[in-house]
Amino acid sequence: MRIACLLSDGFEEIEAIGTIALLRRSGIECELVNVFNKKSVTGSYGITVMTTMSLKAVKVTDFDGLFIPGGGHAKVLRETPTVLELVETFHKQNKWLMAICAGPSVFGVLGILDNVHYTSFPGTEKYMPKGIRMNEKAVRDNLIITGIGAGAVYEFAFEIIKALLGECLKDEVSRRILY
């Protein structure tokens, strides 16, 4: 399994790096995609991360899904046409869509969360007015997995692992990290 994680300056570090670390522990390959085709991004709390590929290099057929962490960069992603086109392409090709905190708002502005169960950071629901908001740490509805915020990174990542690779592997990773 291979996931593209969209990053730009202002991403939420715990949500991005914590989720990626847990997914990689399960064997899921995660590419850190720089939305603006630079070599690095700096998160909301000043942590700079080297990215592994640029947005223009992403070929949807090479990936099983797309992951958007939250943070202030969610506003930028919602307003970047190339990001919105990529998200729509992943959705139309029935690929996994995963987002946490403010990240689901990117799916929301495209109508992808219409009549879909989801969770997100409180206040972001204005971007998904036709979605079915759940007050849970992680929610899966078909090929869409959402998380409520940084405090739910484990539950969010475990929901992804369970959906993509099964309950047994999720339990194994959980045991290995003493969760």
CATH code of the domain in which 113 resides: 3.40.50.880
Q: What is the 8-class DSSP label of residue 5?
A: E
pLDDT of residue 41: 98
The residues, ordered by sequence, that sit 6+ positions from 168 with a Cβ below 8 Å of its Cβ are none
Instruction: Provide the pLDDT for residue 36.
Output: 96
Mean pLDDT of 159-174: 98
Q: What is the mean pLDDT of the chain?
A: 98
SS3 at position 129? coil
- What's the rounded Cα separation, in Å, for the pair 101 and 103? 5
Longest dimension (CA), the chain: 41
For residue 35, what pLDDT band results from cuts at 50, 70 and 90? very high
**From residue 58, how far is each of 104, 107, 149, 164 by CA, in Å?**
20, 18, 26, 20
Range of the domain at 34: 2-176
In this prediction, residue 34 carries a pLDDT of 98
Average pLDDT over residues 166-173: 98
DSSP 125: G
pLDDT average, residue stretch 149-175: 98
Question: Predicted confidence band at 150 (pLDDT cuts at 50, 70, 90)?
Answer: very high
Mean pLDDT of 98-107: 98
The total domain count for the chain is 1
CA contacts within 13 A on the Cβ side of 16: 33
pLDDT band at 148 (very low <50, low <70, confident <90, very high): very high
pLDDT of residue 174: 97
